[in-house]
Amino acid sequence: MLASASYDNTIRLWDTATGQLRQTLEGDRGDALSAAFSPDSKMLASASYDNTIRLWDTATGQLRQTLEGHSGDIWSVAFSPDSKMLASASSDNTIRLWDTATGT
């Protein structure tokens, strides 16, 4: 699976074997700056100019939760090997660790 971000505030999930569009994720309020799949590919984290991170269910395309806490653009996101934690780095000069189950 491949994720692509667009200036229309959507993220598209593509099947890399067929090249076909699988899902269009809508709900970002700003352009996506970074995205990462969980190791099992069940979740996608997208970070954007609106200082938020969104966790998506890749099977359904549904937004699972929105993580808020940075005061600047979020440049990078990465999942832990077990997908229980998410790390984010921001232009506010902070790195945060998030619990993916609770969003805290």
Domains of the chain plus CATH, in order, are 30-99 (2.40.10)
Note the pLDDT tens digit of each residue in 80-91.
999 999 999 999
41 — alpha (psi -120 to 50), left (phi > 0) or beta? Answer: left
Mean pLDDT of 43-63: 93
pLDDT confidence bin for 8, thresholds 50/70/90: confident
The per-residue pLDDT for 6 is: 79
Give the whole-angstrom CA distance, residue 68 versus residue 3.
Answer: 22
Measured distance CA(59)–CA(15) in Å, rounded: 12
Question: What percent of the chain is predicted at pLDDT more than 70?
Answer: 97
Share the mean pLDDT of the chain.
92
37's torsion region: left (phi>0), alpha (psi -120 to 50) or beta? beta
